[in-house]
């Protein structure tokens, strides 16, 4: 069996003390020269040294663990979000624990408790609801937490989101200009999910101001939509579907294709998110592109600053990331 590299081996390789290597590993670089840091870093890589997480925790009482909780890991938005977060933290001493709450408040609570039990140093979460009391025990355990994609009103936590109302308003103005009479909003359940509520409320406000008929269809985990209900609405006037996230948008495009409905002649369609797929689907789907990876990088950078001692209200990083509309031919 190959002998495991120890901290003593690294120290001997660089000709420094074990305590110096230990300080480097634990992020205590203040009194260490740049040359020494570089030599230790190279030695760790060349000798393939892997520090013991348990030993580090016992020495520093720090786990170097970050918990990341997403609502639905199968959603492309979440995948790109996680990519942005992981790419930022790969240049630090932190390790990520990535878990999915499956849009379940009960599962989310269990996950958060496990993260607390594992002594995570910070949490990034796409919250399942906007009830701040559900997350109070995180604050009670003095664990820094940042919200991503969704907000919790009147909460102490920083949130990084996109400009939901502004971007939906732009699409709605186009719908009004094109003389649509009906809008079918399709979404997973919106109650107490702040992002979905904001998008829906914006559609309703503009729709009501322009005498449009707004119909909300909420779909369950099976993503079933009654096409007959859609067709009955479409028969009453010019109709557009507005999907509130990327998964639902693709579901609606498939529904229309399966039922031989032409876009936009029979029904127009738009929504979140643009992951290049909507560009290649005929006739080209007008969709809202959220910069998910950038949002991930931003929330990671913000949490890193908090962990370094910067108060959340002093972080000088934009927390509302602008989306963009890819105008095509589906409306």
Per-residue pLDDT of 239-260, as tens digits, reads 999 999 998 999 999 999 999 9
Number of helices (H) and strands (E) in the chain: give both, helices first: 13, 12
Which pLDDT does position 279 carry in this prediction?
A: 81
Q: What is the pLDDT of residues 156-203, one digit of tens each?
A: 899 999 999 999 999 999 999 999 999 999 999 998 889 999 999 999
Q: What is the mean pLDDT of the chain?
A: 89
Q: Is the pLDDT of residue 2 over 70?
A: no
65-162+292-323 has the same fold as 7-60: no
Q: Is the pLDDT of residue 155 over 90?
A: no
Lowest mean pLDDT among 19-28, 117-126, 308-317: 19-28
| Structure letter (DSSP) for residue 134 | G
Which pLDDT does position 245 carry in this prediction?
A: 92
Query: How many beta carbons lie within 10 A of that of residue 156, not counting itself?
Result: 12
Which pLDDT does position 239 carry in this prediction?
A: 98
Q: What angle do CA 184, 185, 188 make, to 5 degrees?
A: 140
So where are the chain's domains? 7-60, 65-162+292-323, 164-290
Please tell me the distance from the alpha carbon of residue 116 to that of residue 138, in angstroms, as a whole number: 8
Q: Is 54 left (phi over 0), alpha (psi -120 to 50) or beta?
A: alpha
Mention the CATH class of domain 164-290.
alpha beta
Please tell me the distance from the alpha carbon of residue 267 to that of residue 314, in angstroms, as a whole number: 47
Segment 220-231 shows an average pLDDT of: 83
Which pLDDT does position 51 carry in this prediction?
A: 66
Which pLDDT does position 1 carry in this prediction?
A: 43
Lowest mean pLDDT among 15-19, 23-27, 114-118, 157-161: 23-27
pTM: 0.79
Fold (CATH) for 7-60? 434 Repressor (Amino-terminal Domain) (1.10.260)
Q: Is the pLDDT of residue 54 over 60?
A: no
More confident position, 87 or 56: 87
Of residues 269, 320, 317, the one with CA closest to residue 290: 320
Residues in the chain: 331
Fold (CATH) for 65-162+292-323? Rossmann fold (3.40.50)
Q: How confident is the model at residue 91 (pLDDT cuts 50, 70, 90)?
A: confident
Q: Is the pLDDT of residue 59 over 70?
A: no
Which residues does 60 contact at the CB level (< 8 Å), separation at least 6? 26
């Amino acid at each position: 069996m190959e002998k495991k590299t120890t901290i003593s081996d690294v120290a001997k390789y660089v000709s420094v003390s074990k305590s110096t290597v230990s300080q480097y590993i634990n992020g205590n670089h203040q009194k260490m020269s740049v040359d020494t840091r570089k030599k230790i870093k190279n030695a760790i890589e060349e000798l393939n040294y892997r520090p013991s997480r348990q030993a580090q925790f016992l020495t520093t009482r720090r786990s170097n663990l970050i918990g990341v909780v997403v609502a639905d890991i199968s959603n492309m938005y979440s995948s790109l979000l996680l990519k942005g977060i992981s790419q930022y933290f790969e240049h630090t001493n932190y390790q990520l624990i990535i878990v999915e709450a499956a849009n379940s408040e009960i599962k989310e609570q269990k996950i958060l408790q496990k993260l607390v039990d594992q002594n995570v140093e910070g949490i990034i979460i796409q919250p399942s609801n906007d009830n701040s009391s559900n997350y109070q025990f995180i604050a009670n355990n003095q664990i820094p937490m940042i919200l991503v994609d969704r907000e919790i009103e009147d909460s102490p936590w920083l949130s990084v989101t996109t400009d939901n109302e502004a971007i939906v308003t732009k699409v709605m103005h186009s719908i009004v200009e094109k003389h649509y009479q009906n809008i079918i909003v399709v979404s997973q359940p919106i109650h107490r999910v702040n992002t979905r509520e904001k998008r829906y409320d914006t559609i309703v406000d503009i729709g009501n101001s322009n005498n449009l008929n707004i119909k909300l269809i909420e779909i369950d985990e099976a993503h079933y939509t009654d096409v007959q209900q859609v067709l009955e609405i479409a028969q009453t006037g010019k109709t557009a579907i507005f999907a509130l996230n990327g998964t639902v948008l693709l579901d609606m495009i498939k529904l229309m294709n399966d039922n031989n409905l032409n876009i936009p002649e029979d029904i127009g369609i738009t929504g979140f998110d643009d992951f290049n797929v909507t560009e290649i689907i005929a006739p080209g789907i007008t969709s809202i592109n959220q910069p998910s990876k950038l949002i991930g990088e931003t929330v990671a950078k913000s949490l890193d600053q908090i962990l370094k001692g910067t108060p959340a209200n002093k972080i000088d990083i934009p927390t509302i990331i602008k989306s963009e509309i890819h105008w095509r031919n589906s409306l």
